[in-house]
Structure 1
Amino acid sequence: MNMPPTATDAIKDNLGEAGSHLKQAASAAGEAIKGAGSAAGDELRLGKANLKAELADSALAGIAAAENMGDAAREQMDVLMDKSRDVLDSASELIRERPLTAFGIAFAAGWLIAKVARSSNK
């Protein structure tokens, strides 16, 4: 004789089914975590590769800038030399046009330099 299932049997069956579903959910969660870890690892490797590439590009740009520094210094020196030539030409022209004024300025500058040099020695 088969007895009809009781309420207790129904509860046991339902709890068994719930446990089975929980086991499947835990397995699915584990797989999801494993997949997320793998994806995160892939992203980390990609980020590391991008970082290395950007640092290498930065180093190359720095080296290129350093190589151009000599040329830039020469350009600036040429500009400075041109300006100093212009100042000397202006001074020469002023001396030719006003020799007495130039002599007076030179004498006053010499006297002032001598005065300052003497006072600093005391």
Structure 2
Amino acid sequence: MSPTHTDNLKSNLSESGSHLKQAARDAGEAVKGVASAAGDEARLGKAHIKADLADSALAAVAALEEGGAAAGEQVDALMDKGRDLIDSAADLIRERPIASFGAAFAAGWIIAKLARSGDK
């Protein structure tokens, strides 16, 4: 006796169910694989971010150190200019002592007048 249409239907439905079960298993494995790969990528990304942040911090520290050195250079330059100005004033006083005294006296008198007018 040959299989009936009902038997063939049952057989085909059974085979279809088996394939669906296998597809569900394969989908589960695929999702697990994707999740695992995503986790690996996330860990790798996190490591890269940490490395970039550490490099940024090191560069910022180096910039601060250079900033301190640059400030020191500027202070030295200002000190040199101040010394030059004092030397120049001393030379002028040596060359023209009477004029220097007169200028100093006049400046003191003007400052005293301004100070007295501010008290009123």
Q: Same fold (TM over 0.5)?
A: yes
Q: CA deviation at 1:36?
A: 1.1
Stretches of structure 1 that go unaligned for 5 or more consecutive residues are none
Q: CA deviation at 1:34?
A: 0.6
Distance in 2, matches of 1:78 and 1:71, equals 11
Q: In the superposition, relative to structure 1, how do residues 4 and 59 fare at CA in structure 2: closer, same or farther (>3 Å)? A: closer
Q: CA deviation at 1:59?
A: 3.5
Aligned partner letter, 1:22 = L
Q: CA deviation at 1:98?
A: 5.2
Residues 13-24 of structure 1: matches in 2 within 5 Å?
A: 13-24=11-22
TM (norm. structure 1) is 0.68
Paired residues, what number?
Answer: 120
Distance in 1, matches of 2:107 and 2:7, equals 119
**CA offsets per residue over residues 2-48 of structure 1, 9 Å max, x none?**
25422x44443333333222222211111111111111111222222
**CA offsets per residue over residues 86-118 of structure 1, 9 Å max, x none?**
222333344455556544543343233223333
Alignment RMSD (CA, Å): 3.0
Stretches of structure 2 that go unaligned for 5 or more consecutive residues are none
